[in-house]
Amino acid sequence: MTSSQLWEMNATDVVKALKQKEIQPSELIESTIGRIEVVDGKVNALPIRCFERAFEQAKVFDALGDNRGPRNLRGLPIVVKDYNDVGGVRTTYGSPIYSDYVPKNSDATVELLEARGAIPIAKSNVPEWAGGHTFNPVHGITRNPWNTNLSAGGSSGGSAVALATGQAWLATGNDLGGSLRTPAGFNGVAGLRPSPGVVPRGKRLQPFDTLWVEGPMGRSVADVALMLDAGAGHMADDPLSFNSSIESYVAVLKEAALPKRIGFSNGLGILPVAKDVANVTEAAVKKLVDLGIDVTDDVPDFSGVLEAFHTLRAVLLGTMMGELLETYRDRISEDIVGNIEQGFTITPEDLFHAERLRWDLIQRMMVFFETHDLLLCPSASISPFPVEQRFVTEIDGHACETYIDWFAITFAITMTSCPVMSIPCGFTKDFLPVGLQVVGRPRGEAALLQAAHKLEQVFAIAGKLPIDPREGV
């Protein structure tokens, strides 16, 4: 394979070639720059590039001796979401307030990845501060490569699109209410929302919050495991972070086996799901039944969880952004202003109620996992929508009360604190990918990756990537 074709390889094979010195990091940088220049003008996934910085880092790896540690990426270029700081590189958070901000240092998430051999090559586009559709007043709209007239999802939309189109081998994502899982599903890639503390977070985030987590994204489960190896661990900036007892998440995939018993629900008993999505997920689950897996509809009771999430999210945004609102109100989007102000209205009784609901849900999840290996549900209740829409207002005639309710299927799972993967499971009649959330036991990332790896083989979609952007009709 020529240098110009390296972008077509998967991350696992690229890192293996790096460690065997069959290729050099500088060759990979040249390959991905070439790919970015060809396709990104059609999708706008990577508006901030740091090519010179990447080449300087590559010189270090080109001169290294043998370095084959299980957690070392050995000079693999990666994409970093524009909510994460990269030292010396512009970081905007999608906000005009920070349109020219250049942090001095990388945050804890990126610092650990860089220490373990990752080379940031570009920043991926995001919504302004938060949201399920990737557009902002600084860099504009990111488009879905399966149909460029449609949304890439959010907030990790730029990362997901970069992966799907071959502009990146691995990318960082983060997830509060579905910001990693929704775009993974919309773009046909894989993403992991790990348990809180598995991947360290930077100082910008509230240190004791457990709703917002950082997580890896890739074109396959194996590539996600590779990035988790490099990105998991303790960093002083994050008091909840810890060093896992798992030496290598990649290594555990060798022992992967299909689950024996899973619970499946399209709407978790509380949500509408569009028919085109339901048809795809049900067909995918039928494949599992045909393989002898026991599939039940015995899922935990999620009653009240959506209301509780709205409360806790409002408190988090009020805590994180309340002071910013006082100074820059007129430079923050109306939707985010409303979210922050909602945090100021939460009463102690509201907070008590929300925390009790989450407490009860976690107990119900523990009971569920006594008899089931996994919980499955869609990564989004709808397929990708037109880029002109700011958000989705209804799902098959069911009105969405707020601008984030269309992705409630993911923030319901956030409330469990369980690790969850989004993997593609099929396509709609319009050939748009549909993702499936695969939920595992708390701190059960290894077992979850093993199961997702086998399910991915059943659905056989990862091999279709990367793709060239396709213009909508």
The pLDDT tens digits of the residues spanning 253-269 come to 999 999 999 999 999 99
How does residue 2 score in pLDDT terms, banded at 50, 70 and 90? low
- Marked catalytic residue, from 31, 81, 156, 383: 81
Q: What percent of the chain stands above pLDDT 70?
A: 97
Q: What is the pLDDT of residues 353-370, one digit of tens each?
A: 999 999 999 999 999 999
What pLDDT is recorded for position 66?
A: 52
What pLDDT is recorded for position 402?
A: 82
Average pLDDT, the chain: 95
How does residue 3 score in pLDDT terms, banded at 50, 70 and 90? low
The predicted model gives 159-168 an average pLDDT of 98
429 carries an active-site annotation: no
What pLDDT is recorded for position 403?
A: 77
- Marked catalytic residue, from 106, 151, 155, 417: 155
- Per-residue three-class SS string for the chain: CCHHHHHHCCHHHHHHHHHCCCCCHHHHHHHHHHHHHHHHHHHCCCCEECHHHHHHHHHHHHCCCCCCCCCCCCCEEEEEECCCCCCCCCCCCCCHHHCCCCCCCCCHHHHHHHHCCEEEEEEECCCCCCCCCCEECCCEECECCCCCCEECCCCCHHHHHHHHCCCCCEEEEEECCCCCHHHHHHHCCEEEECCCCCCCCCCCCCCCCCCCEEEEEECCHHHHHHHHHHHCCCCCCCCCCCCCCCCCHHHHHHHCCCCCEEEECCCCCCCCCCHHHHHHHHHHHHHHHHCCCEEECCCCCCCCHHHHHHHHHHHHHHHHHHHHHHHHHHHCCHHHHHHHHHHHHCCHHHHHHHHHHHHHHHHHHHHHCCCCCEEEEECCCCCCCECCCCCCCEECCEECCCCCHHHHHHHHHHCCCCCEEEEEEEECCCCCEEEEEEECCCCCHHHHHHHHHHHHHHHCCHHHCCCCCCCCC
Higher-pLDDT residue of 114, 401: 114
What pLDDT is recorded for position 441?
A: 96
pTM of the predicted model, to two decimals?
Answer: 0.97
464 carries an active-site annotation: no
The predicted model gives 157-177 an average pLDDT of 98
* Least confident segment among 26-35, 61-70, 275-284: 61-70
Break the chain into its structural domains and give their ranges: 3-464
Q: What percent of the chain stands above pLDDT 90?
A: 91
315, pLDDT greater than 80: yes
164, pLDDT greater than 90: yes
What pLDDT is recorded for position 248?
A: 95
What pLDDT is recorded for position 405?
A: 87
The predicted model gives 1-12 an average pLDDT of 83
Q: What is the pLDDT of residues 93-114, one digit of tens each?
A: 999 999 999 999 999 999 999 9
Q: What is the pLDDT of residues 203-257, one digit of tens each?
A: 999 999 999 999 999 999 999 999 999 999 999 999 999 999 999 999 999 999 9
The predicted model gives 169-178 an average pLDDT of 97
The predicted model gives 314-332 an average pLDDT of 94
How does residue 397 score in pLDDT terms, banded at 50, 70 and 90? confident
What pLDDT is recorded for position 61?
A: 79
Domain 3-464 has what CATH class? alpha beta
How does residue 64 score in pLDDT terms, banded at 50, 70 and 90? low
- Marked catalytic residue, from 159, 179, 244, 381: 179
417 carries an active-site annotation: no
